[in-house]
Amino acid sequence: MSASHYAYLGPEGTFTEAALRSMPEAATRELVPMVSVPVALDAVRSGAAAAALVPIENSVEGGVTATLDELATGEPLTIYREVLLSISFALLARPGTAIADIKTVTGHPVSQPQVRNWLAANLPDAVWESAASNGDGARLVQEGRYDAAFAGEFAASRYGLEPLVTDIHDAQNAMTRFVLAGRPARPAARTGADKTSVVIWLGDDHPGALLELLQEFSARGVNMMRIESRPTGEGIGRYCFSVDCEGHITDRRVGSALMGLKRICPKVRFLGSYPRAGVMPDDLAPLRHGTSDEAFTEAAEWLARCQDGRA
C-alpha cells in the first residue's frame, strides 16, 4: 500500500465499504480492505494508507468499542469527517438454499441486536456465530462454513450468494456512523455545523469527579452529543471517557472548554473537529446567550479594560 490508499474494515462487501464509496474522494483512491479496525488504523499510523474509514457508533447497539479503544490508545490519529449510513440487512445464502435449510447464521456482533427479533420469529432454532464483519460472514457462507449470513444486500453478488430475505431490521431508521481517521494535522475548516471529539481521563476517583468534567462543557454552553466510559486497563474502576460535542475547536466556547478540561484532567486527547454529517448551520438552534465568539471577545476586552483601570 501507499499514501494514496484508503483502508477500511473489510473484506469487500461490508457496510464500511459502502459508506466509504459514498464519499466523493473515494473515487480517486485505491480502497484496501483490512481484517480489523486496529489493522486499518495501524495502516494509517505506519504511513501505508492516507486514511482509514471505520465504524464508531450504531444507533441500536451504541459505540463500537474496538474503534473507541483504538482511537484512545497508541499513536494519535485525527478524525477528519464522518459518514452516516442507513442500515438494513439481507439474509444471504448459497444458491438453492431454502429458509428451512438454515441451521447456522453469522454476521458482525453489532448486527445481532439489530436482527434478534426477526431471527427469533423466523429462524428460532438457528445457531448464531459471530464473524469479523458482515462481509466476512458472507465470505464464510460462500466457503460453506455457515448456511446464511446477515449482510448488506450489495454483498450477494460479490460472494456468489442469493438474498433470501431483504430489508431486515428490528429498529426502524437504524444508522451506523463511520469516521475517516488520518495522521494528525490541522483540523478540517470550520463549517458552522461541526463536531469535536476528545478522550478524557479523570485524575482520581472522588465524589463529583465526573460532574467537574461535565461542568466544563455546561458552563460554556457546549452541548455534549455523546459520552461513553471505557476501561483504561489500569484496574477495576479506572475509566476514560470518549466524548463528542457540538462545535469546532476554533469556536471560543469549545476551545475554552477544552482548556478547562486540560487544567483539571491528567490527560486529554483531541481526536478532531470535523463537519457533522447531514447537518447544515441553519439546522442548528441558536447559541445560548453569552456563548458566542462575540460574547467571549467582549468579555476579554472588558477584563483588559479592568486590568488597565479603564473599566
CA-atom Rg of the chain in angstroms? 22
Instruction: State which amino acid sits at residue 237.
Output: G
22, 176 contact by CB (below 8 A): no
* Amino acid identity, position 116: R
The overall average pLDDT reported for the chain is 93
Residue 279 pLDDT = 92
The model's pLDDT over 153-181, given as tens digits with 9 standing for 90+, comes to 999 999 999 999 999 988 888 899 999 99
Residue 1 has pLDDT above 50, yes or no: no
Q: So what's the pLDDT on residue 212?
A: 92
pLDDT score for 2: 53
Q: What is the pLDDT at residue 310?
A: 86
Please spell the DSSP secondary structure of 178-236, one letter per residue: EEEEESS-SPPPP-SSEEEEEEEE-SS--TTHHHHHHHHHHTTTPPEEEEEEEE-SSST
Is the pLDDT score of 112 beyond 80?
A: yes
| Secondary structure (3-state) at 99 | helix
The pLDDT tens digits for 277-286 are: 999 999 999 9
Span 16-74, pLDDT tens digits: 999 999 999 898 999 999 999 999 999 999 999 999 999 999 988 889 999 999 999 98
The SS3 call for residue 259 is: helix
Residue 204 has pLDDT above 90, yes or no: no
What residue type is assigned to position 202 of the chain? L
Cβ–Cβ under 8 Å, residues 222 and 253: yes
| Placement of cell 449510513 in the chain | 85
DSSP state of 6: E
Query: Would you state the pLDDT for residue 3?
Result: 62
Band (pLDDT 50/70/90 cuts) for residue 119 is: very high
Q: Taking residues 134-138, what's their average pLDDT?
A: 93
| Residues contacting residue 278 through CB under 8 Å, at least 6 positions apart | 84
Distance CA 145, CA 149 (A): 10
Q: At 117, phi and psi to the nearest 5?
A: -65, -40
Cβ-contact 29, 6 below 8 angstroms: yes
Q: How confident is the model at residue 200 (pLDDT cuts 50, 70, 90)?
A: very high
Note whether 118 and 171 are within 8 A (CB).
no
